[in-house]
């Protein structure tokens, strides 16, 4: 094992003082009036010896680690891994690295991650908060650590957030189904109080009402995040055998993928027997025999805006809390029964 | 903004010495003979005041950051995000957090990530190495930082690695196609010298030879990672219009998803006109009208074994280099033309 190369080693290698090396490698050669030749010589020696600055020691002095803690529901879900990739790229442009963690929508796991990341002095958090974690976010804010919520938020909590208008997006999807002559429209959602899910359910109900369709309780199928496959299969079977709806609106891509498997199993034909619209994207939607219509959230915008808000906070540029609404579009394809 | 709570604040709050508080909060109350009552009082005060230990300061003293740097080709690719999730869970069990980065299969980007992670003193690396980065890995090893390669490796380089037997897995897939009476079998791969891709190509050619099928140069379609959609579309069109093969073996899920889109566009029927087998999984494979046969790598095993190897190194338990071969199974479904 080679010993880690220190400033001292670089200094000894060319016979100059440690202070001189430190000035040059920290970009302060002008202040210290080090000549260009000497500066180049020092840099060359540092590269040859494979000198690596110790950012941790620097962090302690400056109180900054240049690290962002990213907490999502599940990094293996394409929705979050795509956002993670964008956050990574944006953070890197500004010299930050990203630590990530998955909460599995559990308040306890989320708290655990916040604690672990805090002990590592992350400079800021980007969080898709689990249900009932308002106090956790409040505590981060009180500690003065910049935090941005994404995908979900807590009404009344003063914190930066970035998300789509879920009420409107859901309404748009349901109205498309109504336009295509569907009158008994069901919805498959998660049984959670999170803002994004509540807004999607309210948007669904409001669109029905606006079109004089009376919502029936049994049309709303709710699955638990921890038990998605089983819940969706059992509850959809009850709704679809016999067929009590002529359209289904899925609140997420995971719910839709689980639902489409059950729909195939039951031999129900999309869109003739049952029109389909989902939230979010999935490779599965492109390859389903009737390509699936979906609400496309701009993940690029969510990731970019989240990092932008964090940087504004870190540089003390913003005082008021920002509530950034990102675009969502309905991508209309065969599954919703439209004539294309 | 609240001030960060220090050991001193906890000590002042209950009127004891900083040393006493430090002993208790570092779990050394027995060594210091602090009574249980006092220890509880100190812990309670720390919790009330929301004291957070500064792990960064601790890291500097101990030379450990309890951080693993994970470098993959692209965190938004489900193959890597699923492994990332498993690495995260396994690392967490042992008190480690994970920093991640995406190399986009570029040696330059990978070096950049290694440098950035090194300045943050990660304790270890898990890397799916980009092509031509043998020297980069060698440098990490020379610095005495534990590193595990996954998915790919460099023959001759003494470093721990975990991967499947790509030669055998590819052979198995191709033999399945031959068993199903296919005689003109093409392959879609990346144009890279990486071990996993070379082994898959060699396994494909060896299986043809073993069955007295003479490989034709035009059967091997090679796409650039940086230009996958365009390359696959153009080159597959040349091979499939007119149809010069009766089966295709895709070397990764991304290649297959791009390829299936082109196959649909050309109106080719799977498996009647063209049998299909791919590497890796994808939701798309389940929803393609002819469910796709695939080589399933155990991502759970890859993630778990990688962390296990890292921990062994960190605890100096291993001296010899480990080469862990993880299981891969062929999941046979309609697309390969089998009678099911």
- Helix H segments across chain B? 7-14, 18-25, 36-48, 55-62, 78-93, 107-119, 134-142, 166-179, 195-210, 228-240, 253-265, 283-287, 299-314
The answer to whether A88 contacts B102, with C-beta atoms less than 8 Å apart, is yes
Q: Is B340 exposed, middle or buried (0-12, 13-18, 19+ CB in 10 A)?
A: exposed
Q: Is A84 close to B99, i.e. CB distance below 8 A? A: no
- If one compares A210 and B10, the residue with the highest pLDDT of the two is A210
DSSP assignment of B283-328, as one string? HHHHHSSSPPEEEEE-HHHHHHHHHHHHHHHHTT---SPPEEEEPE
Chain B residues lying within 8 Å of A115, measured CB to CB: 52
User: What's chain B's average pLDDT?
Assistant: 91
The answer, yes or no, to whether residue B206 has pLDDT greater than 50, is yes
Task: Output phi, psi for B123, to 5 deg.
Answer: -75, -25
- How does pLDDT run across B137-177, given as a tens digit for each residue? 999 998 889 999 999 999 889 999 999 999 999 999 999 99
Sheet holding A293-297, edge to edge: A220-223, A185-190, A247-250, A275-279, A293-297, A328-331
Strands A275-279, A323-326: pairing kind:
unpaired
Kindly state whether A334 is in contact with chain B, defined as any CB-CB distance less than 8 angstroms.
no
Chain A residue with the nearest C-alpha to that of B2 = A143
Select from B1, B101, B144 the Cβ nearest to the Cβ of A88.
B101
Are the C-beta atoms of residues B105 and A105 closer than 8 Å to each other? no
- CB-nearest to B116 from A77, A97, A261 is A97
A59 at B interface, C-beta within 8 A: yes
Q: Under a CB-based contact definition with an 8 Å cutoff, are residues B130 and B107 in contact?
A: yes
Residues 6+ apart with CB under 8 A from B108: none
Does the beta-carbon distance from A85 to B65 stay under 8 Å?
no
Whole-number pLDDT of residue A260: 97
Residue of B84, B116, B284 lying closest to A75 (CB–CB): B84
Q: List chain B residues with CB under 8 Å of A102.
A: 85, 88-89
The answer, for B228 touching chain A at a CB cutoff of 8 Å, is: no
pLDDT band at B255 (very low <50, low <70, confident <90, very high): very high
Q: With cut-offs at 50, 70 and 90, classify the pLDDT of residue B192.
A: very high
Residue A127 confidence (pLDDT): 98
Question: Who wins on pLDDT, B316 or B82?
Answer: B82
* Structural domains in chain B, sorted by start: 7-53 (1.10.260), 64-164+299-327 (3.40.50.2300), 166-297+330-336 (3.40.50.2300)
Helix or strand or coil: residue A99?
A: strand
- Give B46's Cβ-side CA count (13 Å radius): 21
| Cβ-based neighbours of A259, under 8 Å, separated by 6 or more | A188, A232, A236, A248, A250
What pLDDT was estimated at residue B59? 61
- Touching B: A residues 241-280, CB under 8 Å: 257, 260-261
pLDDT band at B338 (very low <50, low <70, confident <90, very high): confident
Q: Which residue of B has its CA nearest to A57?
A: B60
B94 reaches A (C-beta below 8 A): no
Q: What is the pLDDT of residue A10?
A: 86
- What is the spatial distance between Cα B193 and Cα B200, in angstroms, rounded to a whole number? 11
Own/partner pairs, A11-16, CB within 8 angstroms, 24+ separation: A13/A45, A13/A48, A13/A49, A14/A41, A14/A42, A14/A45, A16/A42
CA gap B87, A102 in Å, rounded: 11
Nearest Cβ partner for B81 among A67, A75, A118:
A75
A chain contacts of residue B282, beta-carbon cutoff 8 Å:
283
Determine contact: A65 vs chain B, CB below 8 A: yes
Q: What is the pLDDT of residues B11-50, one digit of tens each?
A: 888 888 888 888 888 777 776 788 888 888 888 888 888 7
Do B88 and A67 make contact, defined as CB atoms within 8 angstroms? no
Encode B100-153 in three state secondary structure.
Answer: EEECCCCHHHHHHHHHHHHHCCCCEEEECCCCCCHHHHHHHHHCCCCEEEECCC
- Degrees to nearest 5, angle at CA B67 with B64 and B73: 140
Q: Which residues of A touch B77 (CB under 8 A)?
A: 81
- Kindly report, residue by residue over B262-301, the tens digit of the pLDDT: 999 999 999 999 999 999 999 999 999 999 999 999 999 9
Count CB-CB contacts under 10 A for residue B278: 28
Q: Tens-of-pLDDT digits for all 340 residues of chain A?
A: 456 778 888 888 888 888 888 888 877 777 678 888 888 888 888 888 877 776 666 666 666 788 999 999 999 999 999 999 999 999 999 999 999 999 999 999 999 899 888 887 789 999 999 999 999 999 999 888 999 999 999 988 999 999 999 999 999 999 999 999 999 999 999 999 999 999 999 999 999 999 999 999 999 999 999 999 999 999 999 999 999 999 999 999 999 999 999 999 999 999 999 999 999 999 999 999 999 999 999 999 999 999 999 999 998 877 789 999 999 999 999 999 975 4
Residues of chain A found within 8 Å of residue B99, distances taken between Cβ atoms: 67, 97-99
């Amino acid at each position: 094992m080679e010993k880690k190369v220190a400033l001292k080693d670089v200094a000894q290698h060319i016979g100059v003082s440690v202070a001189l090396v430190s000035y040059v490698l920290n970009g302060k050669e002008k202040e210290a009036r080090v000549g260009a030749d000497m500066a180049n010589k020092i840099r060359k020696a540092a590269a040859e010896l494979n000198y690596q600055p110790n950012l941790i020691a620097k962090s302690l002095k400056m109180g900054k680690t240049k690290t962002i803690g990213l907490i999502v529901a599940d990094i293996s879900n394409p929705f979050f891994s795509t956002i993670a990739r964008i956050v990574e790229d944006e953070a890197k442009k500004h010299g930050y690295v990203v630590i990530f963690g998955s909460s599995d929508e559990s308040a306890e796991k989320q708290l655990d991650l916040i604690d672990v990341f805090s002990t590592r002095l992350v400079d800021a958090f980007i969080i898709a908060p689990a249900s009932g974690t308002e106090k956790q976010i409040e505590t981060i804010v009180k500690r003065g650590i910049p935090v941005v919520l994404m995908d979900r938020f807590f009404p009344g909590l003063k914190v930066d957030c970035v998300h789509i208008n879920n009420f409107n997006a859901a309404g748009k999807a349901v109205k498309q189904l109504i336009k295509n002559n569907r009158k008994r429209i069901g919805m498959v959602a998660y049984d959670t109080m999170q803002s994004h899910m509540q807004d999607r359910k309210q948007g669904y109900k409001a669109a029905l009402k606006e079109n004089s369709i009376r919502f029936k309780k049994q049309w709303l199928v709710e699955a638990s995040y921890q038990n998605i496959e089983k819940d969706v299969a059992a509850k959809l079977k009850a709704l679809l055998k016999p067929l009590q709806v002529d359209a289904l609106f899925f609140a997420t891509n995971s719910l839709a993928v689980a639902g489409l498997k059950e729909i195939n199993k039951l031999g129900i034909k999309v869109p003739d027997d049952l029109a389909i619209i989902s939230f979010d994207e999935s490779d599965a939607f492109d390859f389903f025999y009737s390509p699936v219509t979906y609400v496309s959230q701009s993940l690029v915008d969510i990731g970019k805006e989240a990092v932008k808000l964090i940087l504004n906070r870190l540089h003390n540029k913003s005082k008021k809390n920002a509530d950034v609404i990102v675009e969502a579009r309905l991508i209309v394809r065969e599954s919703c029964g439209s004539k294309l």
